[in-house]
Structure 1
Amino acid sequence: MLESQTIFEVPNGGYGWVIVFGALLINMLNRALYSVFGLLFGSFFNSIGASPTEIALVMNLTSFFESIASILTGAVLKFFTIRQVSVTACILTSFGLTLSAFTVHIYQIILSFSLLVGIGFGLLNNITIVAVTSYFTTNKSRAISFSSAGTEIGQIILPQIIKLLSKHFDANVSIMIMGCLLLNGVIGALLFQAVEKHMKLECINENHALISKSNEIKTGENLKEASLWKKCKDILDLQLLQDTRFVILIIILACNYAASMDCLLIFPFLLIETAKLDQNQSATCLSVIATFDLISRFTFHFLIDWMNLSSRQILVVGIIVVGIIKTYLTFLTTYESILIACSIYGYVRAIVTVNKILAISEHCTKYYPSRFAGALGLKLVFFGIFVVIFGQLFGLFRDYVSDFSYSIYLENILSVSVLFIWFIEYLYHLRH
Structure 2
Amino acid sequence: MARNHGKKFGARAIERGIKLEAPDGGWGWSIVLAFGVNHIFVIGVIQNFALIFSEKFKGYGITTTDLSLILNINSAVCNGLGLLNGPMLRKFSCRQVGVYGALLLFCGTYLTSLATTMPYFIISFGVVFGLGFALISPANSFSINSYFNKKRARAMGLAVTISGVGTVVMPLTVSFLLQHYTPGDTMLIVAALMLHCVPASLLLQPVLWHKIPAPEQTDAQKETKDVAQPLVVKRKRTTTLTSVDVGNSIFSVADGDHDDHSPKLSNRKKYGRSVSQQRQTSQNDCESGEDSIVTGSLKDFDDEQSLADVKEEDENAPKMVEHKKTFFAKVVAFFDLDLLSNPAYVITSAGIALAFCAEINFFLLTPVIFKEVHGFDTYQIAKYQSSLAAVDLVFRLLAPYIGEFLKFSNRNMYLISIIQLSLFRALIMIFLDYEYVIAIGIFLGMAKGVRTVFMPLILPALVPLHKLPSAIGLLMVMKSIAFMTLGPVYGRIRDVTGSFIYVVIAINFFTMLTALIWLVKDYCCRKKSENKD
Contact map agreement 1:64 1:384 (CA 8 A) in 2: yes
1:149-228 matches, within 5 Å, as: 149-202=161-214, 209-212=259-262, 215=265, 217-218=312-313, 226-228=325-327
Q: Does 1:358 align with 2:370?
A: no
Change in CA separation of 1:281 and 1:79 when aligned onto 2, cut-off 3 Å: same
- The alignment-based identity, stated in percent, is 23
Match of 1:108 in 2: 120
Q: Deviations over 1:388-416 (max 9, x none)?
A: 11111111101011112221121111110
1:105-144 matches, within 5 Å, as: 105-144=117-156
Match of 2:379 in 1: 280
Match of 1:315 in 2: 414
Match of 2:70 in 1: 58
The Cα of 1:200 is off from its aligned counterpart by 1.2
Measured in 1, the distance between the counterparts of 2:367 and 2:39 equals 21
Match of 1:90 in 2: 102
| Helix, strand or coil at the partner of 1:6 | coil
Q: Deviations over 1:357-378 (max 9, x none)?
A: 11112222xxx23211111111
Counterpart residue type for residue 480 of structure 2: G
The Cα of 1:211 is off from its aligned counterpart by 3.0
Contact map agreement 1:35 1:265 (CA 8 A) in 2: yes
Q: Deviations over 1:168-200 (max 9, x none)?
A: 111111112111211111121011101011111
Q: Does 1:376 align with 2:498?
A: no
Counterpart residue type for residue 393 of structure 2: L
| Helix, strand or coil at the partner of 1:12 | coil
Measured in 1, the distance between the counterparts of 2:209 and 2:326 equals 34
| Helix, strand or coil at the partner of 1:251 | helix
| Helix, strand or coil at the partner of 1:324 | helix
Counterpart residue type for residue 378 of structure 1: L
The Cα of 1:228 is off from its aligned counterpart by 4.5
Change in CA separation of 1:114 and 1:77 when aligned onto 2, cut-off 3 Å: same
Q: Does 1:49 align with 2:144?
A: no
Correspondence for 1:301 among 395, 400, 403: 400
Correspondence for 1:328 among 427, 434, 449: 427
The Cα of 1:214 is off from its aligned counterpart by 10
Q: Indicate the structure (1 or 2) with the bigger Cα radius of gyration.
A: 2
Contact map agreement 2:106 2:192 (CA 8 A) in 1: yes
Measured in 1, the distance between the counterparts of 2:372 and 2:108 equals 29
Q: Deviations over 1:294-339 (max 9, x none)?
A: 1001112222212111122222221111111111111223222211
The Cα of 1:122 is off from its aligned counterpart by 1.1
CA RMSD of aligned residues (A): 2.3
Counterpart residue type for residue 365 of structure 2: I
Contact map agreement 2:403 2:410 (CA 8 A) in 1: no
TM-score by length of 2: 0.76
The Cα of 1:210 is off from its aligned counterpart by 3.0
The Cα of 1:419 is off from its aligned counterpart by 2.0
Change in CA separation of 1:305 and 1:408 when aligned onto 2, cut-off 3 Å: same
Match of 1:245 in 2: 344
Counterpart residue type for residue 424 of structure 2: I
Correspondence for 2:516 among 420, 427, 431: 420
The Cα of 1:132 is off from its aligned counterpart by 0.6
| Helix, strand or coil at the partner of 1:217 | strand
Match of 1:391 in 2: 487
Measured in 2, the distance between the counterparts of 1:214 and 1:370 equals 9
Q: Deviations over 1:128-160 (max 9, x none)?
A: 110111001111011112112233111111111
Measured in 1, the distance between the counterparts of 2:163 and 2:206 equals 23
Change in CA separation of 1:77 and 1:210 when aligned onto 2, cut-off 3 Å: closer
Which deviates more, 163-172 or 213-222? 213-222
Measured in 2, the distance between the counterparts of 1:86 and 1:233 equals 26
Change in CA separation of 1:133 and 1:224 when aligned onto 2, cut-off 3 Å: farther
Measured in 2, the distance between the counterparts of 1:340 and 1:110 equals 36
| Helix, strand or coil at the partner of 2:19 | strand
Instruction: Give the structure with the higher percent helix.
Output: 1
Contact map agreement 1:292 1:347 (CA 8 A) in 2: yes
Counterpart residue type for residue 399 of structure 1: D
The Cα of 1:238 is off from its aligned counterpart by 1.4
The Cα of 1:291 is off from its aligned counterpart by 0.8
Counterpart residue type for residue 211 of structure 1: H
Measured in 2, the distance between the counterparts of 1:345 and 1:214 equals 42
Q: Does 1:31 align with 2:79?
A: no
Count of aligned pairs: 426
The Cα of 1:219 is off from its aligned counterpart by 8.5
Counterpart residue type for residue 183 of structure 2: A
Q: Does 1:22 align with 2:34?
A: yes
Contact map agreement 1:250 1:379 (CA 8 A) in 2: yes
| Helix, strand or coil at the partner of 1:260 | helix
Contact map agreement 2:35 2:159 (CA 8 A) in 1: yes
TM-score by length of 1: 0.93
Measured in 1, the distance between the counterparts of 2:428 and 2:172 equals 22
Contact map agreement 1:36 1:155 (CA 8 A) in 2: no
Measured in 2, the distance between the counterparts of 1:283 and 1:403 equals 22
Which deviates more, 238-247 or 301-310? 301-310
Change in CA separation of 1:353 and 1:213 when aligned onto 2, cut-off 3 Å: closer
Q: Deviations over 1:43-97 (max 9, x none)?
A: 2212211111111110111111101233213222222221111011011011111
| Helix, strand or coil at the partner of 1:19 | helix
